[in-house]
Structure 1
Amino acid sequence: MAESGRELADNNLISKVSQLADNHLTVVRNISTGLAIAGVILFARSIRLTTKFTNAKDIPSEFIKKNVKLRGKLLSITGDRLEVEHVPISLPIVASFQRKCHSQGTLFIRFAGVEMTPSGKIWLQDRLQPSQMLWFQLLNREDSVLDCFILLDRLGFFRDCLNVEILRQGLGTTVDIPGLQHDSSHYWKFYKRLLQAEVEAQKKGKGLWKQESWLSITSHRFFSTIFIQPVKRLIKLITYFWEKK
């Protein structure tokens, strides 16, 4: 009887251990499956990030929705548009799976939220160099043109936003960005930076916000009073006597 009881207890213990092992194996399998799915998704995203885009219409809509930053090489400047060659991120792990793009093509990008003055366009020509590397943050796509924040590396760590800098120098004004909903957090996030830069230029009187100095205004009024007004009176007097004749 004692031996039978001991065997029953041993069998129960083995059963519990087996059940515990099965439960843990199920958890491990679920974790492994989850990690595998996450790995596939991450791999797929990596492939897309390493894809070279030669046309604005080829860029996934989710990239624009999430305001993804892309890198490119400057080719030319035409008015307020930049022509760039997309330079994708190079990842050795997925390099062999990267889609090869043999077709030639470039991207045209605009300064989102900024309307530049003629002086601003000249400043831009001096600020950017041919073949210069830059980053552009996607905000909107209109036909074959991308509205972006243009970013330049500074000392390898910080990035200057040219959109903000143009407004800060008084070389442009803030305008609406097509495609951004006014009630969205993205709208206020981007416009806050632009409006702050424009207000700063206004306060400092830079660029198109530059006002005449007190001396020039006073001088203009002084000479206007001394010379122009007497001449006007003389003309009126001559006209009066001419009509009398």
Structure 2
Amino acid sequence: MNNMPEPRRGRDDQQDRRDQGNIVSTISHFVDDNLTFVRTTRFRAASEIPARFIERNVSLRGRVRSVSDRGVEVEHVPVYLPVLSPLLSKVKGVDSSSILVHLAGVELTPEGRVWLQENLAPAQTVWLKLISREDDMLHCLVRRSQGSVWGRCVNEELLWLGLARTTPVVGVRTDSRIYWHLHKRLHRAEVKAERKGRGLWQRDSTWERVSRAILDSSVIRMMRRIFQKTG
């Protein structure tokens, strides 16, 4: 009995398991090595984006939904390949949810938030360079799309106009190359605004400085106290 050949069904089951393992392995390698292919998938939440995309700082295309105190609400719009798009599309008729995007390394002033609302209009196309993920939020470098040309980085533009301050990049190791690259890039824009006296770095005129110095002087303070006592 021990010398009888293995039942055919058992051999087939083992072969099926090996085939399934090979398929999973092949798909995994394909996903890792072909980010452009996977980029055609529509993401409806920050949690759906593969960690490898963020590690490689992949750029995704999106459409602005709104700008709020929390950040920019963006709908992900895949870069479809004409031949493959029918095969890669998800179920039709399902509305895409928006993804909350924070401008990486930037803290907006109230004026900066107003500027953002005026310059990132609903339905406008933007490109999101993935930097990190924090719960349901993505930290990104955001670029406005101007036809076939990429516009200026919104993060840098806000700093350059003096409408924001630099802040540590969330979710990125401080000893990493990308952290220092971003820090240098954003800090350069902030320094230019400070040197030019733009926005929050705006300097008072000579007359304003002199007037404030006079009003703050000890003589003026003494005269105010005298008038208050005699009033």
User: What's the TM-score, normalizing by structure 2?
Assistant: 0.78
Alpha carbons of structure 1 residues 60 and 218: separation in structure 2 relative to 1, 3 Å: same
Q: How does 1:132-151 map to 2 (within 5 A)?
A: 132-151=124-143
Choose from 190, 196, 201 the match for 2:193. 201
CA contact (8 A) 1:69 1:137 kept: yes
Choose from 62, 66, 70 the match for 2:60. 70
CA distance in structure 2 between the aligned counterparts of 1:151 and 1:181, rounded to whole angstroms:
23
Alpha carbons of structure 1 residues 227 and 49: separation in structure 2 relative to 1, 3 Å: same
Aligned counterpart, 2:207: 215
Alpha carbons of structure 1 residues 147 and 125: separation in structure 2 relative to 1, 3 Å: same
Aligned counterpart, 2:168: 176
The count of corresponding residues between Structure 1 and Structure 2 is: 203
Hey, which bits of structure 1, 4+ residues long, moved more than 2 A? 39-47, 101-104, 153-159, 219-230, 232-238
Alpha carbons of structure 1 residues 109 and 223: separation in structure 2 relative to 1, 3 Å: closer
Alpha carbons of structure 1 residues 104 and 227: separation in structure 2 relative to 1, 3 Å: same
Stretches of structure 1 lacking an aligned partner (at least 5 in a row):
1-36, 239-245
Stretches of structure 2 lacking an aligned partner (at least 5 in a row):
1-26
Q: Which of 170-179 and 91-100 deviates more?
A: 91-100
CA distance in structure 1 between the aligned counterparts of 2:52 and 2:208, rounded to whole angstroms:
54
One-letter amino acid of the counterpart of residue 202, structure 1: E
Q: Which has the higher helix share?
A: 1
Aligned counterpart, 1:92: 82
Per-residue deviation at 1:236? 9.2
Q: Deviations over 1:124-149 (max 9, x none)?
A: 11112121111111000001100000
Matched, 1:163 2:147: no
- Tell me the secondary structure at the aligned position of residue 70 of structure 1: strand
CA distance in structure 2 between the aligned counterparts of 1:121 and 1:223, rounded to whole angstroms:
33
CA contact (8 A) 2:31 2:38 kept: no
Identity over aligned pairs, percent = 36
Matched, 1:112 2:112: no
CA distance in structure 2 between the aligned counterparts of 1:52 and 1:211, rounded to whole angstroms:
47
CA contact (8 A) 2:32 2:52 kept: no
CA distance in structure 1 between the aligned counterparts of 2:90 and 2:229, rounded to whole angstroms:
84
CA contact (8 A) 1:51 1:98 kept: yes
Q: Deviations over 1:34-71 (max 9, x none)?
A: xxx9x966996444111000011000001000110001
CA distance in structure 2 between the aligned counterparts of 1:235 and 1:176, rounded to whole angstroms:
50
Q: Which structure: larger Rg?
A: 1
CA distance in structure 2 between the aligned counterparts of 1:52 and 1:212, rounded to whole angstroms:
50
CA contact (8 A) 1:84 1:107 kept: yes
